[in-house]
Chains A and B, each alone.
Chain A
Amino acid sequence: MNLLGEPEVTEEGEFVINIGPQHPSTHGVLHLKVWLDGETIKKVQPHLGYIHRSIEKMSESLSYRNFIYVTSRMDYISAHINNQACALTVEKGLQVEVPARAQVIRLLLAELTRLGSHLLWWGCTGLDLGAVTPFFYAFREREAILDVLEETCGARLTQNFMVPGGIMYDIHPNFQKRVKDVMVQVKSKLKEYDELLSGNVIFQGRVKGVGYLSPEDAISYGVTGPAARASGVSCDVRKWFPYDGYDKVQFEEVLDTGGDSYARYMVRMREMQQSIHIIEQLIDNIPEGEFQAKTKMVIKLPKGEFYQRVETARGELGVFIVSDGGSSPYRIKYRSPNFSNLCALSKMATGAKIGDLIAIMATLDLIIPDIDR
Chain B
Amino acid sequence: MTNEEIKQSVSAIFPAVTYDETGEFLTILVEPAEFRSLMKALRSNAEFKFDFMFCLTCIDWKTHFMMVYHLLSRTHRHNIVVKSKLSDIKNPEIDTVCDIWETANFHEREVYDLFGVKFKNHPDMRRLLLDEDWDGHPLRKNYVDENMISL
Contacts and interface: CB of A to CB of B under 8 A. Distances in A.
Q: Do A and B bind each other?
A: yes
Interface of A: 48-49, 52, 54, 56-57, 61, 92, 217, 219-222, 240, 304-307, 309, 316, 318, 320, 322, 330-331, 333, 335, 339-340, 342-344, 347, 372
Contacts of A54: 138
Interface stretch (B4-12, B30-38, B85-93, B98-106): B98-106
Leading 4 A-B pairs by shortest Cβ distance: A222-B103, A49-B129, A333-B57, A335-B55
B138 A57 contact: yes
B55 A343 contact: no
Interface residues of B, number: 31
Given A48-B129, A309-B54, A342 B139 contact: no
Contacts of A309: 54
- Residue in A240, A305, A347, A372 with the greatest tally of chain B CB atoms within 10 Å: A305
Main secondary structure of the interface of B (DSSP, over half): loop
Given A48-B128, A219-B51, A307 B103 contact: no
B22 interface: yes
A217 B50 CA distance: 15
A154 B138 CA distance: 35
B14 interface: no
Contacts of B74: 219
Contacts of B40: none
B25 A222 contact: no
A304 B22 contact: yes
Nearest to B77: A240
A354 B99 CA distance: 27
Interface in B97-151: 101-103, 105-107, 110, 114, 128-131, 138-139, 150
Given A304-B23, A307-B25, A56 B139 contact: yes
B55 A305 contact: no
A322 B130 contact: no
Contact of A331 (B22, B51, B59, B70): B59
A307 B24 contact: yes
